[in-house]
Structure 1
């Protein structure tokens, strides 16, 4: 009884708290098809979300959309011009979505690699990553509603190499005159719970990533967090009702210690009671630590997910998925 009363009081307090600055969804589709003959057939093997589909999320109080795409499609040859057709597809989505009043976080969904070769190798030097971001920043720097997410979930490279690449990309972006917000992931799939890990991905993010700085102080660290056993988000079950806040606490303390801020760039859970409590606990933790947390993005939405257990796309009749009800107290109240 006491536990139920405490949960009710906490939910009421959450509902009264101001939502975080950024609340949104990761939309997939344009990054798909990487295992097929590349670059693939547009409209069949990969597709950008429709601008009109963002109205659903905006109506429910979301204000940020993260859109995934592939570096190799946008820049078929390193250090060369961006592909005009792919850039036009990306621009159509970005321009249309930002015209609605939403912000868009660009997400090269590449895991710090180009055609499966890691950044920092002779084949994909750090300079090539910086060049890509210079070109992309030039395309979107005049749109204040566009944010630059450096890359999705780096892994399988030294953390020191990734930090060097991230800094080079930031420097290249700022050299264009762009003032857009930049999000910077850590190594090892950028898990909040593994920020201090040093056994399986090399030097811990906690030891290395603080060296990355933005001269304009317009950057957020981007971490991802799921609540299944291995933190991968591949299973619908969550470890416990308390796991949501538990997996974020140590990283939150690191942010405060280093006077940094972050975006929870991916969060999700299966449609069951334990995951509901875990997700609510995580978002309550973010709101209670709004001095270091700027917002969150649910994984995922987009046109091609079907019955994927984490998809937030409405069903065929336009009805909300159960998880949307969980998120309602953490979204804007004036929708």
Structure 2
């Protein structure tokens, strides 16, 4: 199992000292351009690079690596663009879309020497991204004849992993924010992905999500649409290389507001206890805060919490990206404060989230020592 006995025992020796290995930012844009008020599944598919979608701004990546000294980028992409619905989810890729994605990944990992977390931004759904995060058929849902199968999901991951298996600085994120589905099905899809990735010979770090948007605060909870709890099953995942960690997200505000109320030390405690119980590690790959001083302490508390608890190996803040403009990716209550993209501005020309949240709060708390070399690993650089 993924807990003590298969993965857990291999991790116990590394639990003595807390250490953040990976820290950085999410790059959102590869999933853009598909929204349709009429739920038209063809909207923005395949899309035009640089217009409907784009993965990164290379100058922005330069700033984050050269000036801010981060070592992690989480790069979002869309399954319906990578695997066109005309051929279905699986091993057949749209080579134009993949080529642009690979260019972004290689710029981050080869040119800049940072790590890149591959992020299929699909909420464990496929075939209609027009009203994400709710549209599309749940992957593996055998009662839906239009749904992609768990086997197809595994085939997709086998193909993607095969293409990046020799890039030591890639991290495989199985899926962004599964929600409102059977947690057992998420487990099955996760296991299929792990199996397919390892069959290619890829040895890099894998991140496995849970239910309820993979939320830290809901990890141990059980309710309709989030049943059974993620904590009751995810420790049973099997990875022959013991190099899988848990992928969690957590914001500080409720319902898209700009008021922070959710304290990391409080809501992370049950998850941390579960990780400790099973000898597991986790990465917080999506979190964010509003533009203003009210949320600053919440950010400080969260980054301090994960830095001081050895169960956590990394984090990525939401979000930068070349297409946000003055729009804010989170926590704005409809206000346009810009994004975490360097050089972005609020709609009124004022400072953006990059200026106020990243430079003002996050940057001073960035760990001074991050993993800079070697294969992505739950334990850090292999000896």
Equivalent residues of 2:18, 2:311 under 8 A apart: no
Equivalent residues of 1:147, 1:181 under 8 A apart: yes
Shift of 1:274: 2.7
Identify unmatched segments of 5+ residues in structure 1.
1-16
State the distance in 1 between where 2:91 and 2:155 align.
9
State the distance in 2 between where 1:314 and 1:327 align.
14
State the distance in 2 between where 1:332 and 1:196 align.
29
1:21 matches 2:28: no
Between 211-220 and 165-174, the greater mean CA deviation after superposition: 211-220
Shift of 1:307: 2.6
State the distance in 2 between where 1:191 and 1:237 align.
18
Pair 1:211–1:19, CA change in 2 (3 A): closer
Q: 1:224-262 CA deviation, whole Å, 9 max, x = no partner?
A: 0011135xxx2221016xx12212111111100110000
| Secondary structure class of the residue paired with 2:25 | strand
1:236 matches 2:258: yes
One of 155, 167, 191 as aligned partner of 1:167 = 191
Partner of 1:220: 245
State the distance in 2 between where 1:66 and 1:35 align.
22
Shift of 1:80: 4.3
Report matched runs for 1:142-181 at 5 Å.
142-181=166-205
Partner of 1:265: 285
Between 299-308 and 37-46, the greater mean CA deviation after superposition: 37-46
Q: TM-score, normalized by length of structure 1?
A: 0.88
Pair 1:158–1:304, CA change in 2 (3 A): same
Shift of 1:19: 6.4
Report matched runs for 1:248-259 at 5 Å.
248-259=268-279
Pair 1:316–1:297, CA change in 2 (3 A): closer
- State the 4+ residue runs in structure 1 displaced beyond 3 angstroms: 315-320, 332-335
State the distance in 1 between where 2:295 and 2:82 align.
36
Partner of 2:362: 327
Between 166-175 and 191-200, the greater mean CA deviation after superposition: 191-200
Partner of 2:40: none
State the distance in 2 between where 1:154 and 1:130 align.
16
State the distance in 1 between where 2:257 and 2:250 align.
13
Partner of 1:46: 53
> Superposition RMSD on alpha carbons, in Å?
2.0
Partner of 2:72: 64
Report matched runs for 1:69-88 at 5 Å.
69-76=77-84, 77-78=87-88, 79-88=90-99
Q: TM-score, normalized by length of structure 2?
A: 0.78
| Secondary structure class of the residue paired with 2:197 | helix
Equivalent residues of 1:31, 1:70 under 8 A apart: yes
Partner of 2:297: 277
Equivalent residues of 1:237, 1:272 under 8 A apart: no
